[in-house]
Structure 1
Amino acid sequence: MNFDYTEEQELLRTSLRAYLRDHYSFEQRRQWIATTEGRNSKVWQDFADRLGILGLAVAEDDGGIGGDAVSCMVVMEELGRSLVVEPYLESSLLGVRILQRSGNSAARALLAGVVDGSEIIVPALNEAASRFDLHKVQGRAQSVTEGFLIDASKIVVRGAPWASRFIVSAILNDELALFLVDASQAGLTINAYPCIDGGRAGDLAIVAATVNSDALLATGSEAETLLAEVQDLASAMLAAESLGVMARMHEDTVEYTRQRRQFGQPIANFQALQHRMVDMYMQLEMARSATLSAVLRQGEEVAERALAASAAKATINEACQFVGQNAVQLHGGMGMTDELAVSHYFKRATAIETQYGSRDYHLLRHADIRRSA
Structure 2
Amino acid sequence: MQKSKRILVCPLDWGLGHASRMVPVIYELINSGHQVIIGADNSPLDLLRKEFPNLEYIKFPSFSISYSQGSSQVLSMLLQLPKIFSGIKKEHLLLKKIIRDYSIDIVISDNRFGLWNKEIKTIFITHQLKIKMPAGVKIMTEPFAVLNNRFISKFSECWIPDYPGEMNLSGDLSHNIKRNASCKFIGPLSRFSYVSAICPDFNIPEPLEVLIILSGPEPQREILEKLLLSQIEKEKKNVIIVQGKTQEKIITKKENITIVPYLGSAELKYLIEKAEVIICRSGYSSIMDLVSLKKSAILIPTPGQTEQDYLAKYLSEKKMFTYSSQDSLNLSELFSVYKNINPFYNSPENNLLKDALGGQ
Q: Is TM-score (shorter-chain normalized) higher than 0.5? A: no
Higher helix share: 1
What range is the shorter-chain TM-score in?
Answer: 0.3 to 0.5
Q: TM-score, normalised by structure 2?
A: 0.32
Q: TM-score, normalised by structure 1?
A: 0.32
